[in-house]
């Protein structure tokens, strides 16, 4: 174990051993799970049932493991945070995953393109492998928040896997500014199903990302249709990869690649949906929103899934302090907390009545019973006011 040192306000040395330093490699368990179907398929009679493994692992097994492993509420002492931030071991852990995501994707393209699989097995792989590839965005998210060119380059390359070129500029300059407000297409509203949210979030974030990139280029004297457009760079490489794979395996492989990418995009939609559902920053007297606080993001400290997602589930600290790297993100008391890790929440969100039954009361508890403080779906406003705050409806009119 590695020891970090710092000095407290009284001038005393603080010595800290990061016991989670090597737990981050639990993320490679997911890699092993995604390789397991290959071994089982070729070792046991080419049984296509093994194609269900990736999806089952992501949406069900991780939730079960989270339940048994439990939560980790511990925070790194602030005195040693600078030393941990300066340790490139944690950066290496992020960068090393980028080529692995690509390798797994190419392996499954080969698998689908060369094996005689039934239609349901291909759909299972689209869902499972696509969702797994969506996990790449947790890593490009971490790198995209950094200021050095190598981390930003790593984020750009990672986004090329799914063609999510607008992600980092939209996330940093759009979502982080407007998070947990009705104006943010990437913040879900109480009463809004994940499917309705998808139709608002995806086009909204693409438009906002392209708009920010257009302004960035204009400030540098470049037009939108320019080789300097980082969003178009990512889109172009993704398309070229797909064309190359279609040339190798035949055009039918696009029936796997394109929906795979779409499911990967949906992976980020799922994360955005559960991270801010119903939470709203209040407007001040000057018409501006209050500063984003930890209470404006749903948090979860489930250890297993956090080790795989770079503490993305400690989302409360991330949005309040976006420059803090994943290894030192903190837990706070009295945070709005999800009932389980992301995989289980994604599965629950896929069944809107179940999601509403579990999460709407939690939103109301967060708002101290005042529904006027909730980010609410306008189409369901009257129904939800009748259920949770009929007395507040008149005041809101």
What tens digit of pLDDT does each residue of 260-269 get?
999 999 999 9
Tell me the CA distances in angstroms from 204 to 183, 292, 373, one per residue in order.
10, 21, 23
pTM of the model: 0.94
Are the C-beta atoms of 325 and 314 separated by less than 8 Å?
A: no
pLDDT tens-place string over residues 158-215? 999 999 999 999 999 999 999 999 999 999 999 999 999 999 999 999 999 999 999 9
The stretches in the chain having pLDDT less than 50 are 393-397
b/e sequence 265-299, b meaning 16+ C-beta within 10 Å:
bbbbbbbbbbbbbbbbbeeeeeeebeebebbbbbb
Quote the CA–CA distance of 162 and 160 in Å, as a whole number.
5
Can you give the C-alpha Rg of the chain in angstroms? 22
pLDDT at 389: 79
Residues contacting residue 118 through CB under 8 Å, at least 6 positions apart = 48
CA distance 263 to 265: 5
CA distance 106 to 55: 18
Q: Which residues pair with 16 in a beta bridge?
A: 4
pLDDT the model gives residue 2: 82
What is the rounded CA–CA span in Å between residue 255 and residue 249? 12
Residue 286 backbone phi and psi in degrees, to 5: -85, 5
Strand bridging mode 13-17 / 3-7: antiparallel
How far from 238 is each of 54, 157, 172, 210, CA to CA, in Å?
23, 10, 22, 17
What does the alpha-carbon distance between residue 1 and residue 318 come to, in Å, rounded to a whole number?
26
């Amino acid at each position: 174990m590695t020891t970090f040192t710092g000095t407290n306000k009284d001038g005393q040395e603080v010595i800290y051993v990061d016991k989670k330093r090597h737990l981050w490699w639990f993320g490679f368990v997911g890699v092993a799970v995604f390789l397991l179907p290959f071994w089982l398929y070729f070792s046991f009679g080419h049984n296509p049932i093994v194609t269900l493994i990736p999806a089952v692992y992501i949406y069900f097994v991780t939730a079960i493991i989270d339940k048994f492993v439990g939560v980790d509420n511990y925070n790194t002492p602030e005195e040693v945070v600078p030393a941990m931030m300066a340790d490139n071991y944690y950066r290496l852990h992020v960068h090393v995953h980028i080529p692995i995501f690509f390798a797994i994707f190419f392996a499954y393209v080969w698998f689908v393109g060369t094996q005689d699989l039934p239609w349901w097995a291909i759909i299972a792989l689209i869902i499972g492998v696509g969702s797994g590839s969506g996990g790449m965005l947790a890593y490009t998210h971490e790198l995209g928040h950094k200021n050095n060119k190598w981390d930003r380059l790593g984020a750009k390359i990672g986004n090329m896997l799914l063609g999510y070129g607008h992600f980092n500029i939209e996330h940093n300059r759009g979502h982080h500014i407007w998070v947990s407000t009705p104006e943010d297409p990437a913040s879900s509203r109480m009463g809004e199903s994940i499917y309705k949210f998808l139709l608002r979030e995806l086009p909204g974030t693409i438009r906002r990302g392209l708009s920010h990139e257009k302004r960035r280029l204009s400030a540098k004297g470049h037009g939108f249709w320019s080789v300097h457009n980082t969003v178009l760079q990512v889109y172009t490489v993704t398309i070229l990869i797909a064309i190359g794979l279609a040339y190798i395996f035949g055009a039918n492989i696009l029936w796997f690649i394109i929906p795979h990418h779409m499911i990967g995009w949906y992976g980020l939609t799922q994360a955005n949906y559960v991270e801010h559902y119903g939470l709203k920053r209040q407007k001040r007297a000057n018409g501006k929103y209050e500063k984003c606080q930890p209470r404006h993001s749903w948090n979860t400290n489930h250890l297993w899934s956090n080790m795989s997602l770079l503490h993305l589930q400690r989302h409360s600290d991330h949005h309040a302090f976006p420059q803090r790297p994943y290894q030192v993100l903190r837990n706070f008391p009295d945070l709005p907390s999800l009932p389980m890790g992301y995989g289980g929440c994604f599965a629950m969100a896929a069944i809107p009545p179940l999601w509403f039954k579990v999460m709407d009361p939690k939103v109301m508890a967060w708002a101290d019973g005042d529904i006027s403080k909730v980010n609410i779906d306008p189409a369901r406003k009257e129904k939800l006011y009748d259920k949770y705050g009929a007395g507040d409806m008149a005041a809101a009119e």
